[in-house]
Every structure is written in structure tokens, then in C-alpha cells.
Amino acid sequence: TTTVVWLRDDLRLADNPALRHAADDGDVVVLYVLDERSDGVRPLGGAARWWLHHSLRALAAAVHDAGARLVLRRGAAVDVVPAVVTDARADAVVWNRRYGGSEREIDAAIKAWAGEHAVEAHSFAANLLHEPWTITTGAGGPFRVYSPFLRACRRAEEPRDPVPAVHRLSGPDVASDDLGDWGLHPTAPDWSAGLAAQWEPGEAGAGRRLADFVDGILAGYDTSRERPGVEGTSRLSPHLRFGEISPFQVRAAVAGASPREDRDAFLAEIHWREFNWHLLYAQPDLATVNHRAKFDGMPWRHAPADLRAWQRGRTGYPLVDAGIRQLWQTGWMHNRVRMITASFLIKNLLLDWRAGEQWFWDTLVDADAANNPANWQWAAGSGADAFPYVRVFNPVTQARKFDADGDYITRFVPELAGRSGSALHEPWGDDPPPDYPAPMIDLKDTRRRALDAYAAIGASG
């Protein structure tokens, strides 16, 4: 048998059930399609394109070491995948399942094509511990709230163990594009130096990150994860996003780790990812449509200059600016600071959460079709499981609590280096730094304005 393995968000040779199945069955063509043509497929943002470039380079090297060639093609998947199957004279095509609306339609169309052309098509579960439709409420529908979803996952069938890695591949030679011609890597200007300094895209880098986490950071995670100034989380998010590592591998690696509170806290975060995909499966337009329709009436401001100040990390609030600048420099932002910067945009600036979602989509290396919109909707209060709208993060109080000494702030806002206490956290007092902006808004006034706006649409939370 010759099988085309169509890889998508599963750029790995280990724990890859589709690839494993194909390799056990005979010859293999490993295919990646850059699809920027199909209807409804959201184009990748800049940081994710950079990541994809390097991840594919790493994957091509690994496939080469195993004895085959990674075939790269560009175009609408419904055209390209059948063309490669035909070129390779393959008998079968296999993939690991995706859960976004447009992606499911594309996969269904290719399955239908295969059926009509006597080509076998098989799909596998690889990227979520629990596929969205397998976890249901008592009434048989999707969950809207995280805690009962988590409990249902715990009651569900144990996730399987990782499947063994593929080390040997053989198959026919099929023409491939040249990765360099895809233009995924930024040029003119190349802004990616900060990303390259921080990350090692690819399966090997993901494995190292996981091992470092399990050996070090995991013990103490439950408290260290709240402190942006220390490396207190796994930083696996972009690796999980591109499927360089699977949640099954992550789960297996932390199984039995102690203390138990740390392991449970970490697995609870892994289940937020599961939950967000569950939400996206139930609502494919999660990135554009308020889950709660009331929010369609929200009086969002149109204030491009304010949006720009936020995007550039020039709000005058140190923790907000540090977060946004961490994002610029490294393509990643600490979770607590994501919540605070999101709250600032939505509540203090009263700007539509979709503007923030789009900015994160373009700048995060882990920009994820489910996690990004679901978290923004959560922060806005428009989501299924929503942050209480009456709670507005105060970025000064938050900074004093989670970055008291300013380790994080001063790393990304050098204008504030050497300061402490109020001079650091409220730098607009007696001795304002000359090159750092004054606060762009008053926290109290804008908090009141936000609460009035929420009350006006009759939101409750």
C-alpha cells in the first residue's frame, strides 16, 4: 500500500496515529499543504507564520532522517490533496482530525472525493485528549461552563497512551515546493530575532521544553504560574498549537509527578485547551460572533489612536505595557498578563474584544483558533463561560501583587529600570520618567464607564 499522510496541526513523528498507521501499512508520502485559498480558513498571523516556517524545516529534517521527503504544496486542500494522491499513485490518504468548522468541511470534501475514486481515507484522534463530541452534558449537548466539563472529562474514558514514534519511512518521490519560496519567514524587515532567541520550533524543541518543565518548573507550578517575572509555566503553548507535541504525550510525561496539586493545576490548564476546542466545535464562528447575543449591543468605542497606544505598549500602565512589549519581542505573553491587557482593552478602553483578538492572532506564536477567541470572549464576558463583568482588573494592584519588585516590568519597560514601589508601579507621581507616557486614561472613571455600558446591555455575570 502507498498512503499519503496529510499533516496539518500535528507536525510530529511521535504519537502521530495517522503517520503510524501509514508507516505500518507500507509506503508513505508525508504531505503538508499551505492552504490560504479555501473559504473560511483563517490566514495565519505573522508570528505563527514564522513559527510554521521553522517547524516545517525541523519536520523536513526529521522526515529526511527517517528516509523520506516532506512534500510541501500550496493551494486549496480540496485540489492539492487529490493531486498528490494521484501523482503518488497512492491507495489511501490519512490524517489526524481537525475541529474547526471550515477545516471539517474541507476534510469531509476530501473524504468524499476519496470515496468516489476508490482511494481509502481514514482519520484519527490525535490532538485532543477528548474529541469535542465525546463529552456531553446529561442532556446530550455541549458544555458551556468549564468546571462541569472538566468533571465530565475526568469521568470519561482514560485517554490512551502515546503511540510509538515512527523512525523509518519509505515511499515514492513526489515533487515538492521549496519552503523558502513560501515567504513565511519575515523579510524587509526581519523582525524575528527576538522570537528566535526565545524559541526552538519543532518536535525536538518541544520535547526538550516538556522535559525541562517536568524536571524543574512543574514542582511549584501552582504558585509560580501566577508570577510573570519567573519562568513558572511550561511554555508549551506554541508546540501544542502546531502539534509538535500532543496532549497525550504531555499527560503521560506528568503522570505520577508530585506534588499532586501542581500536577492537577497543570492538567486543569491543559483542559482549558480541551474546553476551548469543545466551544469552537459547538460555535465555529467563535472569533467573530459574540456567544451572548446581548453583547451585539455593546457601545464599543471607535478610537484608533487608543488601540494603537495599546498595541504599542504605550498606555502608561507599566504591567500592561510590559505585557504588550513581551508579545512584540518574543511572540508570547504570560497568561496573567494576557488577562490584564485584555481587560484593559475591553473595559478601560471600551474597545471591541475582536480588535484585541485580531492583534493577538497576528503577534502570538501560539495563536490558536480556539484558545484565542475563547479567552477573549471570556475576558469580555460575552463568552459561554465568562469572567464576571463587574470585575475589572486594576493593572496597578495586579502589578503590586504579582510583580511587586518589578522583575517582569523592568525587563520589558526599560524606561522604568532601577525604580521600585510607587515610582515603579505609579510612575506618574513626583518623578515621572522622561521617556515613558503618562497614563492614557483614568482607571476609576473608565471602570465606571465600563460598568455602565455592561448595565446598559443588561449583561449579568
Task: Note whether 135 and 162 are within 8 A (CB).
Answer: no
Provide the mask over 10-29, with x wherever binding to ligand FAD is found by CB under 6 A and - wherever it is not: --------------------
Sheet hosting strand 27-34, strand order edge to edge: 70-74, 27-34, 2-7, 92-96, 120-124
236 is in an annotated binding site: yes
Provide the mask over 304-333, with x wherever binding to ligand FAD is found by CB under 6 A and - wherever it is not: ------------------------------
266 is in an annotated binding site: yes
Judged by CB under 6 A, which of 235, 291, 292, 425 binds ligand FAD? Answer: 235
Q: Does residue 338 interact with ligand FAD by CB under 6 A?
A: yes
181 is in an annotated binding site: no
Judged by CB under 6 A, which of 66, 210, 236, 413 binds ligand FAD? Answer: 236
CA–CA gap between residue 41 and residue 104 (Å, rounded): 11
- The catalytic residues are 269, 272, 300, 335, 353, 376
69 is in an annotated binding site: no
Helical axes 260-282 vs 371-380, angle rounded to 10°: 90
Nearer to ligand FAD (CB atom), residue 73 or residue 263: 263
Nearer to ligand FAD (CB atom), residue 23 or residue 370: 370
Which ranges constitute the DSSP H helices of 131-259? 146-155, 193-198, 203-212, 221-224, 237-241, 247-254
Per CB under 6 A, the segment of 26-34, 107-115, 370-378, 422-430 that binds ligand FAD is 370-378
Nearer to ligand FAD (CB atom), residue 2 or residue 234: 234
Q: How many residues touch ligand FAD (CB under 6 A)?
A: 27
451 is in an annotated binding site: no
| Residue 361 phi, psi (nearest 5) | -60, -40
Residues 240-259 that bind ligand FAD (CB under 6 A): 240-241
**From the CB of 154, what's the least distance to ligand FAD, in Å?**
16
**From the CB of 209, what's the least distance to ligand FAD, in Å?**
9
- In the DSSP assignment, the letter for residue 71 is E
Provide the mask over 261-300, with x wherever binding to ligand FAD is found by CB under 6 A and - wherever it is not: --------xx-xx--x------------------------
CA pseudo-torsion sign 136, 142, 145, 146: positive
**From the CB of 248, what's the least distance to ligand FAD, in Å?**
13
**From the CB of 440, what's the least distance to ligand FAD, in Å?**
20
Amino acid at 141: G
Q: Comparing C-alpha atoms, which of 298, 285, 283 is closest to residue 459?
A: 298
- Burial of residue 105 (CB within 10 Å: 0-12, 13-18, 19+) is middle
CA–CA gap between residue 370 and residue 73 (Å, rounded): 25
Output helix, strand, coil percentages for the chain, rounded to the nearest 5. Answer: 50, 5, 45
234 is in an annotated binding site: yes
Residues 339-368 that bind ligand FAD (CB under 6 A): 339, 342, 360, 364, 366-368
317 is in an annotated binding site: no
**From the CB of 368, what's the least distance to ligand FAD, in Å?**
4
CA–CA gap between residue 337 and residue 327 (Å, rounded): 10
- H or E segment and range at residue 95: strand 92-96
Task: Note whether 389 and 454 are within 8 A (CB).
Answer: yes
Q: Interior CA angle at 68 toward 67 and 74, to 5°?
A: 160
**From the CB of 150, what's the least distance to ligand FAD, in Å?**
12
233 is in an annotated binding site: yes
Nearer to ligand FAD (CB atom), residue 27 or residue 368: 368
How many CB atoms are closer than 10 A to CB 346?
25
How many CB atoms are closer than 10 A to CB 412?
23
Judged by CB under 6 A, which of 70, 126, 379, 440 binds ligand FAD? Answer: 379
Specify binding-site residues for FAD.
221, 233-237, 266, 366-368
- Interface with ligand FAD (CB under 6 A): 225, 233-237, 240-241, 269-270, 272-273, 276, 335, 338-339, 342, 360, 364, 366-368, 371-372, 375-376, 379
